[in-house]
Every structure is written in C-alpha cells, then in structure tokens.
Amino acid sequence: MPMLAKPHQILTDALHAEYAIGAFNASNMEMVQAIVRGAEKHASPVIVQTSEGAIEYATLPVLSNIIATVAKASPVPVIMHLDHGKSFDMAKHCIEAGYTSVMIDLSPLPIEENILKTKQVVEYAHARGVWVEAELGAIVGHEGVKELHGGQTPDSFFTDPKQARDFVDRTGVDALAVSVGTIHGAFTGQEYIRFELLEEIQKAVFDVPLVIHGASGIASKHLQQACTTHVCKVNVDTELRIAFERAAGAYFSEKHDSYDPRKIMGPARDAMQLVVEEKIELFGSSKTAAIY
C-alpha cells in the first residue's frame, strides 16, 4: 500500500455508491493504531484526521509521521486529513507535512470572506494534488455554541442548499461539510439528521461528496440511512474518547502494582478499535479497500 492514500477516487466512488468512509480523530499513537487496525479488520479505506488541537498537543512532525508510518505498513488505504483547519497557514503546513486532504473551516466568517479565503486554500491544495473539504452552515459544539438545551441546532446554523451550490461553484472545494442537525460531541442524545434538508442539499450540490460532522451520539439507523445518500465521509471523535476513558477508568478502578502505561493504553487502544469497527460496519464501506 502506498505511503498515504489520496481521497479523490475513494470518496468519488462513495458518492456513486451507498456507503461512506469513516473519518476518525486521532491525537496519539494508540488512536492512530486503533483507527487503522479497525479499518483493516473490515478491509475498508479509512481517514485518520487531526484537529488543530491534536497537532498542537503532539506537534505536526510527530503526529503526521506516526500516521504516515502506520499507513505505510497497512494493506488498506489510509488518508491523512486536517480536520477543522482554521487558516491558510495551517492547511499549508499540513500539506507540506504530507496530508492528502485538508478541511478549511471558515464557516464562522461572513459568506463572502469564507468563499474568498476558502478559494485560496483550494488553489494552493489543488496545485499539490490535495483534496479540500469546507463547511457551510455551523455545526454546534465547535462554532461557538457550546452548551445546548434539548439538543436543537438554531435554524440559522443549518446549511442553505442554494448557498451551498453557489459556495461549491465559487470555491471549487472537493467536499462539503453540511449542518443538518448533528452536533459535535455527545450532547443530549437527541441529536438527529434532517433528512429532508440533506436531500435538498444533495439535489443542489449533486456533484460533490457531502460530509457529516458530529456523528457521535447519532442513532445507528440514522447513520446508516445517511450513508446511502451523497454523504461520503462521516466524522467520529467523541465516541472514541469515551471508549478510551472507560477503558482507562476500568484499569484505575482495580488494584494493580504494574505501573506500566501499556497496561492502560493497550486496553484503551483495543476499546477504541471496537468503536471504529462498529462505525465502519454502519457506514457500509467494509471490503471496499480491495478496489484500490
């Protein structure tokens, strides 16, 4: 398997099929290994994505080299993706570090500024063969609103289908993250997907893969249904973190005298891998790695 896979063919194939590729956040070695091992168990391509916070925590050279090294040894295609990039410079640094895909998330900006600055990233990335995802609308839990009552996304946050068409045409992005009711983080258990809105967006921007953020906490049947639409990438972070915390907590609740970090990190890695496997199963991309 080549060093790192490019998303172009993988996500375009998903656009014309009824499955999506899982995109899982990582900030250390065990998370990267859990994600790629989970994908290998299902013979599925996978996206290992890093937020700006993960890059700050681990540093870009360390984190990108962990992902690239694990990807190089894997039989499945592994895409390395910048999640919620907030600036041209961050996208540029990641592209220089070998990322095959970047998200530039300027959704908090006024639309015209979002379009202008997103276009700059698209031009820079495309000149280097790198895929670009952007976001239109706001997904609660990252863009400002931290606490929700009743798990409802404010109407003004939802992606507008007409605006989405104009945005894609004027920026040239390869994929569009949409706000259709999902929420970052496991909020209230009332997270939902507005399928009627998703369908309108899909009709308007029929030509680009859609991305669902905030998949943690979404009912399995709704995730499965979403993956049969033009949703081609589904982001999961919080459920991996919960699995990690539960496994580490189980260790500390027992008496031990090992004082060995591997006794904590190993079971936590296995627990996160199970979440990855469960999500890939739901997203329907098992056994599609053979195509590449």
Q: Which is nearer to ligand G3H, 73 or 176 (CB)?
A: 176
Count of residues in contact with ligand G3H, rule CB under 6 A: 14
At position 92, the amino acid (one-letter code) is K
Spatial separation of the C-alpha atoms in residues 100 and 48, rounded to whole Å: 11
Q: Where in 189-218 is the site for Zn ion (CB under 5 A)?
A: 213
Shortest Å distance, C-beta 254 to ligand G3H: 28
Is position 241 an interface residue for Zn ion (rule: CB under 5 A)? no
Quick note: the x/- pattern for ligand G3H over 110-149, rule CB under 6 A, is ----------------------------------------
Is position 159 an interface residue for ligand G3H (rule: CB under 6 A)? no
Is position 160 an interface residue for ligand G3H (rule: CB under 6 A)? no
Q: Are residues 101 and 126 in contact, defined by beta-carbon separation less than 8 angstroms?
A: no
Is position 101 an interface residue for ligand G3H (rule: CB under 6 A)? no
Residue 238 binding: pick among Zn ion, ligand G3H, none (C-beta 5-8 Å cut-off by kind): ligand G3H
Is position 233 an interface residue for Zn ion (rule: CB under 5 A)? no
Residues 6+ apart with CB under 8 A from 24: 31, 35, 38, 46, 47, 48, 49, 235, 236, 237, 240, 276, 279
| DSSP per position, 52-112 | HHHHHHH-HHHHHHHHHHHHHT-SS-EEEEEEEE-SHHHHHHHHHTT-SEEEE--TTS-HH
Tokens encoding 249: 């907590």
Is position 237 an interface residue for ligand G3H (rule: CB under 6 A)? yes
Contact residues for ligand G3H (CB under 6 A)? 25, 83-84, 184-185, 213-216, 235-239
Task: Point out the residues that are catalytic.
Answer: 83
